[in-house]
Amino acid sequence: MYDVVMLTLARGEEDSTGCGAGGDCCSPTAPAGRADCADTPRVPVLACADALTSRGARVEFVTARSDREIDAVLARLDGPPRLDGLDWPDPDGKTRLVVATASDAQLRAVMRRLVRRYAPPPSRRPADLADNRTLPDLPAIGVLPLDPSRSGDPGRPTGSRLPSAPESPGDLAGQLGLPRDPAAVAAALLDGRVRRLDLLRNDAGSVTLDGALLGAANEAGTPLAWRGRVEVDDTVLTGGDDPLLACVVGNAGGYAELTGVRLLSTADPADGAVEVAVAVPVLARSRWGRRTMRIEVRRARGRAVAVTPRDPEVPFLDDGVPGTLSRKRSWWIEPGAWAVYDR
């Protein structure tokens, strides 16, 4: 039978950049007694553990407050030592991991640490690594959403000046159709299938599971124009002269809509490609001579995308984590790199 680690993320006290840096875990301003920042396992975690133990699994609870504590859990997924000295996941291991997530950002924090653990440096690339990948198949994980109401919430921070997408299909677990009931998550972990999914890496050292939305909005929620060069493989969507209302780098469909405008058309987290879209305001004249503005959406698909801002700082959300872009950022696809347990 399996040893199962139930991992919950909490705000780090010793490492201010812990759990994925810049707010991937609990907010530093959260009340000290907030349930998702406490040591006591939450009700869904306990219910999932009960379902696992009833089937004979040995369950351990871990609350991680820093990258170091996450890494200590992930080390249990290591395979036997290799001759080249690289850390490598064990494809036949008897330890399974369930990540209890309050947001997509928390799930990303764990995947970010998995990538850092198992991605070999370019100078030590092993011969058994696939040509289209920079890391091996990452261990499958169980995903336990802590808040069922978040199935329709893409995880954007309240009060954000970034454009909202009210028609978004929700958090990543909801988009993927993963089980949300604790007992169903336990059943998927023990009896379900391993479902492999694409991963986006970027040159800032992080990862993207769902997508990134670049752009800002005023207090009324109206998108504000910015400029930047956006290229997907050999296709240039904009050279930097067009005003942009938004740019979406999509792996899944969480940022597919912007104020009623469809940006991503076929974002699929398992098709081996990244879909990118930019929204450009275009002035047009009607037959009566009136000037109207419409939004032109330009799309491209490929293996990699680069965004070079022309403005000093461009706000963005990456899997729900806010930041600002002040220099070129590149993302590239890692086909089938990560995996979840599904029904």
Same domain, 310 and 280: yes
Same domain, 67 and 112: yes
**Structural domain of residue 134, as residue ranges?**
3-199+338-342
Q: What is the CATH number of the domain that holds 245?
A: 2.60.200.40
In a domain? residue 94? yes
In a domain? residue 317? yes
Give the residue among 70, 73, 51, 67 at the shortest CA–CA distance from 5.
Answer: 73
What's 201's DSSP letter?
A: E
Secondary-structure breakdown of the chain: helix, strand, coil percentages, each rounded to the nearest 5 = 20, 35, 45
Same domain, 122 and 187: yes
Query: Quick one: tokens of 154?
Result: 């893409």
Same domain, 78 and 151: yes
Can you list the alpha helix ranges (DSSP code H) found in the chain?
A: 43-53, 67-74, 104-118, 172-176, 182-191
In a domain? residue 206? no
Same domain, 258 and 175: no
What pLDDT, on the 0 to 100 scale, is given for residue 204?
Answer: 95
> What does the pLDDT look like over 318-339, one tens digit per residue?
999 999 999 999 999 999 999 9
Sites in the chain below the pLDDT cut of 70: 11-39, 148-169, 286
What pLDDT, on the 0 to 100 scale, is given for residue 7?
Answer: 98
Same domain, 25 and 138: yes
What's 253's DSSP letter?
A: S
Number of domains in the chain: 2
Distance between CA 280 and CA 296 in Å, rounded? 5
Strands 211-214 and 314-318: antiparallel
Same domain, 147 and 25: yes
In a domain? residue 205? no
Same domain, 227 and 184: no
Phi, psi of 159 (to 5 degrees): 80, 5
Same domain, 325 and 241: yes
Same domain, 220 and 115: no
Same domain, 158 and 281: no
Same domain, 195 and 225: no
CB distance 218 to 315 below 8 Å: no
Phi, psi of 56 (to 5 degrees): 95, 0
What pLDDT, on the 0 to 100 scale, is given for residue 221?
Answer: 82
Q: What is the CATH number of the domain that holds 178?
A: 3.40.50.10330
In a domain? residue 204? no
In a domain? residue 242? yes
The verdict on pTM exceeding 0.85 is yes
What pLDDT, on the 0 to 100 scale, is given for residue 28?
Answer: 33
Give the residue among 304, 300, 279 at the shortest CA–CA distance from 236.
Answer: 300
